[in-house]
Copies of this chain bind each other. A is one copy, B any other.
């Protein structure tokens, strides 16, 4: 309930009485929900001050009533509360669920659409899904966004500098020495790097990688040049691309 921002709990004729110490032990800190819970003798009494009541129901039979998905229910409850009306959701006991008399108090039923070939939803899971839908019905989180934490997405100019750096080193290494193929190869490299929304920090790291890898090649080239006494220009070509 707390996860979904629902904090008002009403209990109808609790089988083992109320309060029960184990409820507080198992509530993961949701004491305020339990402290404020009210106990009622009947469903009619529990819903008396509400304007709109939904009842969760796995497989209703012989009932003529609107049935909402959990998502449809959340949208409807948001609309109703936005009109200043008070709404509630009825959940049944763990195994038996709500009986037909209980459901008759509801404006509409809520049925969570799940795999009909393996449906085993307990009370806690039903509450979790309905509360989750209630919360997300008003949530503005974009479905996908790049989390960058301490850094920021780099501008295209910053990426361009990296690609210029990389291309220069690839030219120096000989990786791009096939001139007819060079433009296509450069473009394909760009396609990969443009795809990932590189951040400032990643651009710096990639500059470092290019510099370090090139440095290794150059130092080896210099060593080879010293040992073999050949021209530096040859050594600068570095390892062949494979």
Contacts and interface: CB of A to CB of B under 8 A. Distances in A.
Interface of A: 2-5, 28-30, 60-69, 71-72, 75-76, 108-109, 111-115, 118-122, 125, 128-129, 132, 135-136, 139, 141-151, 199, 201-202
Contact of A113 (B28, B66, B141): B141
A2 B120 contact: yes
Contacts of A142: 69, 72
B146 A66 contact: yes
Ranked nearest first, the 5 interchain pairs of A and B with the lowest CB-CB distance are A72-B143, A2-B118, A28-B120, A5-B115, A113-B141
B128 A3 contact: no
A143 B110 CA distance: 10
A144 B108 contact: yes
Contacts of A5: 115, 118
B68 A146 contact: no
Residue among A62, A65, A113, A139 with max Cβ neighbours from chain B (10 Å): A113
B4 A114 contact: yes
Given A64-B147, A64-B149, A128-B128, 6 more contacts: A28-B122, A69-B139, A69-B143, A76-B144, A113-B135, A114-B135
A4 B115 contact: yes
Contacts of A144: 66-69, 72, 76, 108
Residue among A63, A149, A202 with max Cβ neighbours from chain B (10 Å): A149
A189 to B, nearest CB: 21
B145 A67 contact: yes
Given A118-B2, A136-B113, A141 B201 contact: no
Contacts of A114: 3-4, 132, 135
B147 A60 contact: yes
A185 to B, nearest CB: 25
A1 to B, nearest CB: 9
A29 B120 contact: yes
A92 to B, nearest CB: 17
Contact of A63 (B72, B111, B112, B147): B147
Nearest to A149: B62
Given A30-B120, A125-B128, A147 B65 contact: yes
Residue among A61, A112, A143, A148 with max Cβ neighbours from chain B (10 Å): A143
